[in-house]
Amino acid sequence: MPFQLHLDESDLLRCRFALSPLWETQAAVRVLAEPERHGYHLPWLRLIRDAAAGLDLRPLWLLLARHGHSPDFLSPPPTGPVTSFEEELAGVRSVDPELARQDLARALENRPEALRSPTGQAMLADPARAARELAALLEQAWRLLVEPHWPRLRALLEADIAYHSRRLAAVGFERLLGELSPQLSWSGSTVTVSGARGRHTRVLGGQGLVLMPSVFSWPGTATGFAPPWQPAVVYPARGIGGLWSTSADRTPQALARLLGRGRADVLCALDEPAGPSVLAHRLGLAVSSVSEHLSVLRAAGLLTSRRSGHQVLYERTPLGIALAAPEGRPQE
Task: Fill in the amino acid letter for 329.
Answer: R
Sign of the C-alpha dihedral computed for residues 179, 185, 186 and 191 taken in this order: negative
Please indicate, yes or no, whether residues 94 and 215 belong to a single structural domain of this protein.
yes
Position 247 scores a pLDDT of 56
- Rounded to whole angstroms, the Cα distance separating 225 from 240 reads 25
User: How far is CA 110 from each of CA 67, 130, 206, rounded to the nearest angstrom?
Assistant: 8, 18, 30
Q: Does some domain include residue 11? A: yes
98 with 177, same domain: the answer is yes
Please indicate, yes or no, whether residues 215 and 89 belong to a single structural domain of this protein. yes
CA–CA distance, 239 with 147 (Å, rounded to integer): 20
Clarify whether residues 165 and 264 are in a common domain. Answer: no
Determine, yes or no, domain membership for 99. yes
- Distance (Å, rounded) from C-alpha 169 to C-alpha 173? 8
126 plus 215 within the same structural domain: yes
Shared domain check, 207 and 124 = yes
Q: Are residues 256 and 221 in the same domain?
A: no
Residue 330 lies in a domain: no
Using alpha carbons, select from 19, 28, 33 the residue that is nearest to residue 85.
19
- Residue 297 in domain: yes
Whether 332 is covered by a domain: the verdict is no
Does residue 43 sit in the same domain as residue 191?
A: yes
Last residue of a domain, one of 169, 203, 236: 236
Residues 41 and 214: their CA atoms lie apart, in Å, by 13
The answer to whether 207 and 230 are in contact (CB under 8 A) is yes
Q: Give yes or no: residues 55 and 136 share one domain.
A: yes
What CATH number did the domain enclosing 303 receive?
A: 1.10.10.10
CA-to-CA distance for 237 and 25, rounded, in angstroms?
A: 15
63 and 192 housed in the same domain? yes
Parent domain of 299: 245-324
Same domain, 204 and 304: no
Within-domain flag for 331:
no
Question: What is the chain's pLDDT, residue by residue, as a tens digit (332 residues)?
Answer: 578 888 888 888 889 999 999 999 999 999 998 877 777 788 888 989 999 999 999 999 999 876 778 898 998 888 887 789 999 999 999 999 999 999 999 889 878 888 888 999 999 999 999 999 999 999 999 999 999 988 888 878 887 888 888 888 888 888 999 899 998 988 888 888 886 655 678 888 888 899 999 999 888 888 867 778 888 999 999 877 767 766 555 677 888 888 998 999 999 888 778 888 888 877 888 889 999 999 999 999 999 988 876 778 888 887 888 788 765 343 43
User: Which of 236, 258, 275 delimits the end of a domain?
Assistant: 236
Regarding whether 117 and 12 lie in a shared domain, the answer is yes
In the chain, the number of structural domains is 2
Q: Among 236, 261, 276, where does a domain finish?
A: 236
Rounded (10°) angle between helices 173-180 and 150-171: 140
Q: Could you tell me if residue 150 is inside a domain?
A: yes
How far, in Å, CA of 130 to CA of 124, rounded?
8
CA dihedral 203, 205, 206, 209 (to 10 degrees): -20
Separation of alpha carbons 69 and 106, rounded Å? 7
